[in-house]
A = this chain, B = another copy of it.
Amino acid sequence: MFEAAELGRKVSKQDYETQVEALRPELLDAQFALRETNIPVIVIVAGVDGAGKGQVVNRLNEWLDPRDVEVTAFGPHSDEEQERPAYWRYWRALPPRGRIGVVFGSWYTGPIVRRVYREVKDADLDRALDRIVSFERMLVQDGALLVKFWFHLSKEAQRKRLRCLEKDPDTRWQVSPIEWKHFKRYSRFAAISERAIRHTDTGLAPWVLVEATDPRYRDLMAGRTLLQALKQRLETQGTAGAVVPSPLPSPPPGPEAAVTILDHVDISRRLDRDQYRRQLLHCQGKLSRLSRRAWTKGRSTVVVFEGWDAAGKGGAIRRMTAAIDARGYRVISIAAPTDEERAHHYLWRFWRHIPRAGHVTIYDRSWYGRVLVERVEGFASEPEWMRAHMEINDFEEQLCDHGIALVKFWLHISNEEQLRRFQEREQTPYKQYKITAEDWRNREKWDAYKDAVNDMVARTSTSYAPWTLVPANDKKYARIHILSTVCERLEAML
């Protein structure tokens, strides 16, 4: 593959200057047009050591308006990053819509280097590459433009470049023993990089291989490629969602085709007052001890509450938080996104609250809004919410891979019980604020929500993150069921 980037291509100084003069205003124009769109642009700068990746980025920043460009280099993990799933640091660095984010090495560096030094096997590498493919597809389907550069040098050219950098006192710092250590493994690096590139060279996010021997050729290629990508993307702007094929099969038949999962929830389960009191104390005591142990061991927990309106999410959450030290948990209540959240992929607002080691995050409604309210209300298109099931599985797998205990509850009540509770709320002075016209409107869409919930459970109840369907017609039963489930999951983890 890399032979195509060892052809000795060069650009004369004069040609370079002429071409740059034409390129710059066009790049600025494209960048200016980009600002008015909802397209985030992610430029990945990868390749061999000494290929001048830093120089290219400096050059691009010189040609562009640096105010709309965010450059991120991923050095050693900070402890705040270390305590969260691997991709947390990449989510942090994603540019908002209308802006350009340049990332060095990015999500590719780790998998390649670990495989070169045999810390992992081919299968692990492939798994990491699969994750990259999903991640990038998700971004592109959300409207992002990905431009991925791989800057290449032949072995001989790399040797020369490193020697040359070493000689100049101004650039000597760029060559450390690590670069030479990498250089000794040139062929191995090349083979594994090639595997990575092939695996991730998708139609949605193709690689651009750039010969980096001549700096002028290299910079010009990068600039022109970026310009072309921007222009193309700007032209197809409105249709981006439409041209992206959905990788999912068509939706399953409607609920009339079968008895649904929800129909199997035995909502008649209840507890009497005495049982409840006794078990509540018991469960809370247990949760208190378990959450302290998780804290000490630095193991995090994420709890998701979904359910019908008035199903008792708030009350259940309070029974849980009462047992956990207030310093260790945070309840995130999901309402309308802020404008910063709206300027990113819909999962971004959830990633930002992923807890540090030992902490607990409780989501009162969650990313499942994408396949529930957004689906039913039409805020997300069918391809969008269909693929969201898979994106969510992927997201949750990353949490679980990091060792986070993820517990998901659907609080299920009957249609009649909801009506009873709505009416009660309307009649109780200090509960009136809990019931709005929107609740009544949602209620009218009960069947559509039921379809959505059934699909959701069918598609996102995984071995690592199963759904717990909670019979919640009786609040007491529901709360105990929830507390004991959380305890079980923590016990299994610790």
A61 to B62 Cα, complex, angstroms: 52
Kindly name the residue among A66, A68, A104 whose own CB sees the greatest number of chain B CB atoms within 10 A: A66
Pairwise interchain contact B327-A292, C-beta atoms closer than 8 A: no
Pairwise interchain contact A433-B32, C-beta atoms closer than 8 A: yes
Kindly name the residue among A68, A79, A292, A296 whose own CB sees the greatest number of chain B CB atoms within 10 A: A79
Q: Taking A66-B321, A339-B339 as contacts, is the C-beta distance between A289 and B327 under 8 angstroms?
A: no
Pairwise interchain contact B173-A54, C-beta atoms closer than 8 A: no
Pairwise interchain contact A330-B70, C-beta atoms closer than 8 A: yes
- Report the contact-size class of chain A (Cβ under 8 Å from the partner): 35 or more
Pairwise interchain contact A326-B54, C-beta atoms closer than 8 A: yes
Is the C-beta of A392 less than 8 angstroms from some C-beta in chain B? no
8 Å CB interface, A234-292 against B? 288-289, 292
Kindly name the residue among A32, A58, A69 whose own CB sees the greatest number of chain B CB atoms within 10 A: A58
CB distance from A284 to the nearest CB of B (A): 11
The 8 Å CB contact of A338, one of B68, B71, B325, B340, is: B340
Q: Taking A66-B317, A317-B66, A340-B338 as contacts, is the C-beta distance between A58 and B292 under 8 angstroms?
A: no
Is the C-beta of A444 less than 8 angstroms from some C-beta in chain B? no
A155 to B193 Cα, complex, angstroms: 66
Pairwise interchain contact A25-B333, C-beta atoms closer than 8 A: no
What string of 1s and 0s marks CB contacts (under 8 Å) between A289-317 and chain B?
Answer: 10010001000000000000000001001
A67-B314, A67-B333 given; 18 more Cβ-contact pairs under 8 Å: A25-B430, A57-B327, A60-B326, A61-B321, A61-B326, A62-B321, A65-B314, A66-B321, A66-B331, A67-B332, A71-B326, A71-B330, A78-B79, A78-B80, A79-B80, A173-B292, A173-B296, A340-B340
Instruction: Identify 14 residue pairs between A and B in the complex whose beta-carbon atoms are under 8 Å apart, listed by A's number.
Output: A54-B326, A58-B322, A61-B326, A62-B321, A65-B314, A66-B317, A66-B318, A66-B321, A66-B331, A67-B332, A71-B327, A71-B330, A72-B327, A170-B289
Is the C-beta of A419 less than 8 angstroms from some C-beta in chain B? no
Residues in B with CB closer than 8 Å to A57 are: 326-327
What string of 1s and 0s marks CB contacts (under 8 Å) between A392-416 and chain B?
Answer: 0000000000000000000000000
Q: Which residue of B lies closest to A333 (CB)?
A: B67
Is the C-beta of A1 less than 8 angstroms from some C-beta in chain B? no
The 8 Å CB contact of A327, one of B65, B104, B333, is: B104
Number of copies: 2
A79 to B80 Cα, complex, angstroms: 8
CB distance from A296 to the nearest CB of B (A): 8
A12 to B17 Cα, complex, angstroms: 86
Residues in B with CB closer than 8 Å to A289 are: 170
A409 to B72 Cα, complex, angstroms: 26
Is the C-beta of A102 less than 8 angstroms from some C-beta in chain B? yes
Pairwise interchain contact A326-B79, C-beta atoms closer than 8 A: no
Residues in B with CB closer than 8 Å to A73 are: 327
What string of 1s and 0s marks CB contacts (under 8 Å) between A312-350 and chain B?
Answer: 001001100110011101111100001110000000000
What string of 1s and 0s marks CB contacts (under 8 Å) between A142-154 and chain B?
Answer: 0000000000000
Pairwise interchain contact A318-B430, C-beta atoms closer than 8 A: no
Is the C-beta of A29 less than 8 angstroms from some C-beta in chain B? yes
Q: Taking A318-B66, A333-B67 as contacts, is the C-beta distance between A325 and B79 under 8 angstroms?
A: no
Pairwise interchain contact A67-B331, C-beta atoms closer than 8 A: yes
Residues in B with CB closer than 8 Å to A338 are: 338-340
